[in-house]
Structure 1
Amino acid sequence: MWEADISKIAGPRYLALASAIAEAINSGELPSGTQLPPQRELAEELDLTVGTVGRAYSIVKKRNLVVGRIGHGTFVCDPQNDTTSSNNLPETEPGTIDLARYRNPIEGLAESLISAMTEAADNAILLPLHGYPPANGYLTHRVAGAKWINKSGLKALPENVIVCCGAQQALLVALAAFAKGGDEVLAEELTYSGLKSISAVQNLILKGVKIDAGGIIPESLDAACKKSKAKILYLQPTLHNPTTATLSEARRHEVAKISRKYDLILIEDDTIAALMPNRPAPLATLAPERTIFITSLSKSISPALRVGYLLAPPNFVERLVSTLHAITLANSQLVFEVASTMIMNGATDDVISKNFIDLKRRHETARLKLPEAKMHQNPAAFFSWLELPEHWNAHDFSQALRTAGVSVVPADNFAVGDQLPPRAVRVALTPAPNLKALETGLDIVKHVLEGFPRPKMAVV
């Protein structure tokens, strides 16, 4: 039987229990077909009334997460067989523990967002909601964006900040403004998969630059610039996704020097780094005249806030704003108002602090569960980079894990060009707020890691 824990969930107890059930189903902790505890037993376990448990069960039944069978109990629904209405949960394989995608693991985040939404609703009446806003965002939102960017060590002015719907839109705008179809773009040989998607849509040619455990190799960058006609370099110098590498100060100076030598435009993706304490100064501090700095709230606060900020050199701003306007005309300002509220009242600082503490604990759990594994970690990253033994390749290992009930991201998703991807996978450590789903998932990873691939079928 499932053991519920609602001690850290705020609000009425019946809503807390309903939220815990939904979260357990979402994370794979409660696979389809699982029987929930009888209401009376769960009430005694949690020191609640039977009526409170009944109200919680009623809520998750209305959302089509569970179904009651007379004389048998309450069971988790199979979303594949649900033909009545949506249950609002993501489409994942039933029973799969998701160690592929990010979710903020901290308790109480929903309450923080609701509080910010309430405050933002009071402020929204002051906004001209029913007219198209300026493409780069209202001044109040750019002021909040500048404040957020300044946490990285930069000194951002609101007039150089552009507010976007997430870092992905900011990256799209930057590439659309300064590259056209057929152009080459340099990037680390393992790079953010979203860059690969945008490049495919825009018909850009990605050229990989060699990396090692310390990030992009300056000598390889110089060699790539000599061979390529690329005028843009995209990179993640701090908490590289997927390897967790962070460039040293010496390498940052070298990259800035090379970018000036070849007149490169730098696109610095800083979206993962907001949780990192005592972080190095961004590349944008070393080459401010040519660096487009991109950050967002999606990883550090919540994917519910699809808010990104783009900081550009003054001579780039007009071109970027015109490109954003051409792509979107204008973004909805309501979510920007919520994000600005949280930044200005300090709520984001509280979430970041709690998130870092929780992620640090999850990395410790991963190390305890996989003590012999070759794993690259940083407590500020939501993932680890797991190198595989020689008898596994990334594709076969991820497929074997999926069969066993766990999803991860193989190195293939990050590899640039035709190079053979390394034997490695990215393992996200945030399938659910509680550690139980993570521990179960890592146990499965360990079991598969110690095994061997199935023999391939012989072809005669």
Structure 2
Amino acid sequence: MTSFLPSPLDGHSPYYVRLADAFEAAMADGRLPSGDKLPPQRHLAFDLGVTVGTVGRAYALLRERGLVSGEIGRGTYVLDQRHAADQPPRDNFAFAYTGTRSIDSPAGKLRFDTAAAPDIGQSERIGATLADVARDMSIEVASYSRSTPPHWRTAGARWLARNGWAPDAETVVPTHGAVSAALSVITAMSAPGDRIVFEKLTFSPIARSARLAGRRTVGVEIDSGGMVPEDFERVCAQQHPKLAFLMPTLHNPTLAILSEDRRRQIAEIARRYGVWLIEDDLYGSMSDDPTPLVAEFAPDRTFVVSSLSKCVAAGLRVGWVACPPHLAQRITVTHRLLTGGISFVLAEAGARLVLSGTADELRRRSMAEIEARHRIVSEILAGADVTTHPFAPFVWLKLPDPWLSGTFKAAAARRDILIDDEDEYKPERMEHNYYRARISYSSGDRALIATGMTELRSLLDSGMAGYDGET
């Protein structure tokens, strides 16, 4: 085992990043040759005067960079740097664009890191619909989708309508889900180098994809009530963003719901500074919240996106975006260029599910199942500092001392449970820690949910004594 003791570089980045940078520099100049074993995490944490979680995050970052390999029970070893040309670039493509989740999730784990629609037996209904499409429209199924049938738009308008707001069907564009809808809007309405606003906690794959497309991301403060309008205005005045992405109802991951007053303020600020808005209503469509959509207050500059993934079936990959007047064709063309064209089979099946009322029926059944699971989870986590909603498929858990978000995630993984740490939802690097984790409960059956949540509660209550960070 090496006797090398890293001295983290000066800078404003988080300590664990600077620690990883120091190790990488030592590998580059030969002080840490290939094959050397890094110090055990607990030992290094003691020597540096930091927490085991900080060292663990640094080691994880080194693994993401392709510089070390770690095996439970053996330790962490420096990889052969002669193959550095085969590794990701310095800012690490994989880490920057995939976040903290594994690209290929390990088998045999409880998936508390996914909020896809629960299994309520919908496959039989969906299978019958797909079979009907293949039987009724064999010629169209065998070809490309070169146009958008009016009933696809009608279905989207019906699915997106909520709380008295309903888009004109002519403004609706069918997409391969909410993510492709949002990315199509970002690509169509901005250019490389433009700034895109995101809440400082958000569904970060959208932000990562925007950066991959050459856009710059800007964070806006959030609190228990969602996006803070005053900070949004500050960013608009100082950085002149082209577009803002927000989740006003059942925000992911905080579950915040923007008040009507804040929605009006944000709409007015966007109008004043010429900023386009993307309103992600994916979870809002599952809520019983009566607050008007932001699109009510800024219809001329708000794109509303949603899909079937959270309450019907994520595997369908069917979604829609309602556009401001005269922009639907622009988004249609952009979506086609980005995705290669929409799947006729999926778009037709999604439209049939909506127009027949089947999708609404499945949504009600999904919400009832999530509500039942919510009761189970609330009972197990009683007394913990946790934000919940009866129709949301996840909770936002505040971790007690001495837990760090990444350390708790690693400890859960050691018990074969996959959860999301807070870094998964940070669209950009920041110093602030929230000490939170998102735990979903839509995957598996109720018995598995109860078992997994009981295990997490035990881990939570045991503190760091419940986790041996040695690798």
Deviation of 1:94 (Å)? 4.0
**Counterpart pick for 1:173 among 176, 184, 191:** 184
* Deviations 1:138-159, CA, capped at 9 Å, x for gaps: 2221111111112453222221
Q: Which runs of 5 or more structure 1 residues have no equivalent in the other structure?
A: 1-89
Match in the other structure for 1:395: 406
Instruction: Give the superposition deviation at 1:451.
Output: 2.2
Which of 265, 278, 297 is 1:286 aligned to?
297
Distance 1:143 1:123, change over 3 A: farther
Q: 1:196 offset after TM fit, Å?
A: 2.4
Q: Secondary structure at the match of 1:389?
A: coil
Change (3 A) 1:215 1:248: same
Alignment of 1:307-326 (within 5 A): 307-326=318-337
Deviation track 1:16-41 (CA, whole Å, cap 9, x = no partner) reads xxxxxxxxxxxxxxxxxxxxxxxxxx
Separation of aligned partners in 2, 1:176 and 1:201: 11
Match of 1:97 in 2: 110
How far did 1:410 drift? 0.4
1:147 maps to which of 150, 158, 164: 158
> Percent identical across equivalent pairs?
27
1:388–1:449 contact (8 Å) kept in structure 2: yes
Counterpart selection for 1:191 from 198, 202, 221: 202
Which of 254, 266, 270 aligns to 1:243? It is 254
Note if 1:119 corresponds to 2:132.
yes
For residue 422 of structure 1, give the secondary structure of its aligned residue in structure 2.
coil
Q: Offset of 1:133 from its aligned partner?
A: 2.7
Residue 427 of structure 1 corresponds to 439
Query: Using the alignment, how far apart are the partners of 1:368 and 1:117 within structure 2?
Result: 39
Give ranges in structure 2 of 5+ residues lacking alignment: 1-102
The superposition leaves residues 294-340 of structure 1 with CA deviations (integer Å, 9 ceiling, x where unpaired) of: 11111121012101101101232232223223223421211111111
How far off its partner does 1:215 sit? 0.6
Cα distance in 2, alignment partners of residues 346 and 399 from structure 1:
42
Given that 1:124 and 1:334 are in contact with CA atoms closer than 8 Å, whether structure 2 keeps it comes out as no
Shift of 1:374: 0.9
Q: Could you tell me which residue of structure 1 aligns to residue 144 of structure 2?
A: 132
- Residue 404 (structure 1) shift: 1.3
Which residue identity lines up with residue 109 of structure 2 in the other structure?
A: T
Residues 57-456 of structure 1 correspond to what in structure 2 (within 5 A)? 92-125=105-138, 128-134=140-146, 137-151=148-162, 153-419=164-430, 420-432=432-444, 434-453=445-464
Say which SS state the counterpart of residue 277 (structure 2) adopts.
Answer: strand
Counterpart CA distance in 2 for 1:235 and 1:98 is 26
How many Å separate the matches in 2 of 1:103 and 1:417? 25
Give 3-state SS (helix, strand or coil) of 2:312's partner: coil
Shift of 1:390: 2.8
User: Which letter maps to 2:122?
Assistant: L
Distance 1:324 1:456 in 2: 45
Tell me, yes or no, if the aligned pair for 2:401 and 2:463 is still in contact at 8 Å.
no
- CA deviation profile, 1:342-367 (whole Å, cap 9, x unmatched): 11111111111111111111111111
Take 1:328 and 1:204, find their aligned partners in 2: how far apart are those partners? 18
State the Cα RMSD in Å: 1.9
The ranges of structure 1 where at least 4 consecutive aligned residues each deviate by more than 4 angstroms after the TM superposition are 454-457
Provide TM-score, normalisation by structure 2.
0.74
Instruction: Quickly say closer, same or farther: Cα 1:270–1:149, change in 2 above 3 A.
Output: same
Counterpart code for 1:170: A
Per-residue CA deviations over 1:213-268 (Å, capped at 9, x if unaligned) read: 11111111111212212121110001101111111111111111111111110011
C-alpha separation in 2, matches of 1:331 and 1:301: 19
Of 94-103 and 244-253, deviating more is 94-103
User: How many corresponding residue pairs?
Assistant: 365
After superposition, what is the alpha-carbon deviation per residue over 1:8-65, rounded to whole angstroms, capped at 9, x for unaligned? xxxxxxxxxxxxxxxxxxxxxxxxxxxxxxxxxxxxxxxxxxxxxxxxxxxxxxxxxx
1:358-398 CA distance string (max 9 Å, x none): 11111111111011211111122111111111311110010
CA contact (8 A) 2:240 2:273 kept: no
Shift of the 152–393 alpha-carbon distance from structure 1 to 2, 3 Å rule, reads same
Structure 1 counterpart SS, 2:395: strand
Q: Give the partner amino acid of 2:414.
A: T
- Report if the CA contact (8 A) 1:152-1:274 is conserved: no
Distance 2:146 2:107 in 1: 44
Is the Cα–Cα contact under 8 Å of residues 156 and 169 in structure 2 kept in the other structure? yes
CA distance in 2, matches of 1:423, 1:435: 27
Residue 91 (structure 1) shift: 5.6
The residue type equivalent to 1:370 in the other structure is L
Conserved 8 A contact 2:144-2:344? no
Q: CA deviation at 1:428?
A: 0.4
In structure 2, the residue corresponding to 1:451 is in which secondary structure?
A: helix
Verify the 8 A CA contact 1:153 1:282 in the aligned structure 2.
no
Say if 1:421 and 1:205 are closer, same or farther in 2 by CA, change over 3 A.
farther
Q: What SS does the corresponding residue of 2:125 show, helix, strand or coil?
A: helix
